[in-house]
Amino acid sequence: MDTALFNLEEILDNYTFKGEYCGYSVLNNGHINNTYMINFATDEGEKSYILQQINTAVFKDPDVLMKNYIGVTDFVRSKVAENGGDPKREAVKVYCTNSGNSYFIDKEGRYWRIINYITDTVSYNFPDNAEICRSAGKAFGKFQQILADYPIDRLYETIPNFHNTVSRYADFEAALSADKIGRASSVEKEIDFVKSRKADCAVLLGLLEKGELPLRVTHNDTKLNNILFDKDSGEGICIIDLDTVMPGLSLYDFGDSLRFAGNTADEDEKDLSKVSFNTDIYRSYTEGYLSTAIDSLNDAEIYYLPFSVKLMTLECGIRFLTDYLNGDVYFRIAHPEHNLDRCRTQFALVEDIEKKYDELMALTEKICSQLRSE
Ligand code: GN1
Ligand code: MG
């Protein structure tokens, strides 16, 4: 994706801001959209907004994307107000253009939107302590509860089959047989790793088909850095990055969170000896998550919590490997082997989760019985 900066004049033509523009900073910690903070000096001090370039190679229908986005953010905002929270700080708000649209297209054909910047918050790429993880678990559990009665038929699939692990496996097989840029022979070990876990990819979808797992409104990209924490209280107050809110399984959100937060290393760590799954983080996150979500989950949604962490980690590794085989066309990369590094990290993490599986099952059971006896 092109990373050329925004054209300020076009933005000022499309939106009316109070005060004088006084600068921007780049906030790109995601792999998909380009994100900036733009600042204005006003009589009441500096006011900032979040400017995002929507990646239309990934989100192919921006109209549908923004309909979802506005539907969900309006819904969250009104729920927050109903529950006595602060809608200005606990919900994302889309600013419309002067002509009332939720995004605009610049002269180069790039799509842009502007959302609120929430002051006095912090976000983390790495969980510095257990408390952060407990708050993160609580925040995603609460988010799931808030959206529990969002009309699911009003949601479009912004990326079809996003967490469909069977179709992710099929995409991998297609990339492998096409072997577009001749990389397959150099990643045989990784290919075998995926092939030997093919059966795992069908487990949750099988349970969904049998009606044992319910379809819910889920976030689908529950990385730690998609939570804004209040700088003083440490509470996770606002969930961001809502482009992939779609019908899904609660387990996708739980698993993806711990895939990211439970890793003792960075997502693209090259030194695999640093990669392991932190069971203390699992415990804290799960305690937080279940403290807000336990009553709304069925037995299968609880039983498969550890499995979901393994599966979402495997899925993410498969996606990185598939993109590597396809010639790096999806995720933003910083160097040629970046997707391969990310894939290897995910697979090392899968192996460690497999080793610790019984421990994770026991921990989950213990947390549930503690919560149920309270
Ligand atoms: C992407 O943009 P970001 O970093 O929040 C991706 C997720 C992956 C994640 C891996 C729309 O999320 O699905 O889990 O990278 N988002 C999309 O870090 O594909
Ligand atoms: Mg993100």
Distances (CA, A) of 224 to 59, 147, 184, 228: 22, 19, 32, 9
Q: What is the pTM of this model?
A: 0.95
- In the reported structure, the alpha carbon of residue 9 is separated from the centroid of ligand 1 by a whole-number distance in angstroms of 30
Atom of ligand 1 nearest to the CA of 159: 11
Protein residue with its CA nearest to atom 18 in ligand 1: 31
∠36-41-44 over CA atoms, to 5°?
120
pLDDT at 87 over 70: yes
Instruction: Quote the pLDDT of residue 1.
Output: 40
247 and 266 Cβ atoms separated by less than 8 Å? no
The CA-CA-CA angle for residues 44, 50, 56, to 5°, reads 160
Task: Give the span between the Cα atoms of 75 and 98, in whole angstroms.
Answer: 23
Of all protein residues, the one whose alpha carbon is nearest to atom 19 of ligand 1 is 32
pLDDT tens for each residue of 137-183: 999 999 999 999 999 999 999 999 999 999 999 999 999 999 999 99
- Ligand 1 atom with the smallest distance to the CA of 320 is 10
CB-CB contact of 204 with 304 (8 Å): yes
Residues that place a CB less than 5 A from ion ligand 2 = 30, 226, 241
What percent of the chain stands above pLDDT 90? 95
